[in-house]
Amino acid sequence: MDRLIINKVISPKDELISLFEFSAINYRCEENGIRLSLADKRYKWETLCRFTQSTVLIYGMYPFKASEREKILNQLNKINRQLITGTMFLENETVVMRTSADLFDAYNTHETIARALEYNAGAITKLWRTLQPKKEIKSILSERGNAPRNNPWS
């Protein structure tokens, strides 16, 4: 029979590293946290994880710079009203998605952290085209040979 874990001190940093090693995820320990590169089929970005006594703070950072400060702040305000978990903000010229994983239960730390990382990544990818500067999108499309045309029917 499994023994009940009572009053176990949970180290958010140790639990995060344990999850990454169990999942074979590459990461780098830095002075101010743990950094990893994430990607899906279309996008690639950096994520930085920091810690409090019982929480993993997850900061997903878009790789592009926000060129129009007032416009992006208005977009982030609208987005933040819709987010269920976390918040988006502008740090210098970088758009950041912050979520957190509160580790209260020693049995579910990996699941709790994984859920927060997945939510963060899901928000980053879902909102990418909304937040990416339009001139950068046109540049990427023209590099691929998919430059937008004046007449979409031609």
Q: What does pLDDT average to over the chain?
A: 85
Asked if 142 and 136 touch (Cβ cutoff 8 Å), the reply is: no
Alpha-helical runs (H) found in the chain: 12-22, 69-82, 109-131, 134-144
Task: Give the mean model confidence (pLDDT) for residues 123-142.
Answer: 73
Q: pLDDT of 46-86, one tens digit each?
A: 999 999 999 999 999 999 998 888 999 999 999 999 999 99
Q: What pLDDT does residue 136 have? A: 53
Asked if 38 and 58 touch (Cβ cutoff 8 Å), the reply is: no
Indicate the DSSP class of residue 66. Answer: -
pLDDT of 35 > 60? The answer is yes
Asked if 85 and 67 touch (Cβ cutoff 8 Å), the reply is: no
Q: What pLDDT does residue 102 have? A: 95
Rounded percentage of the chain residues whose pLDDT exceeds 70: 82
Position 152 confidence tier, pLDDT thresholds 50, 70, 90: very low
**Span 12-144: which CATH code?**
3.30.1460.10
Q: What pLDDT does residue 4 have? A: 45
Q: What pLDDT does residue 28 have? A: 96
Q: What pLDDT does residue 76 have? A: 96
Q: What pLDDT does residue 83 have? A: 93
Q: What pLDDT does residue 13 have? A: 94
Q: What pLDDT does residue 9 have? A: 76
Rounded percentage of the chain residues whose pLDDT exceeds 90: 68
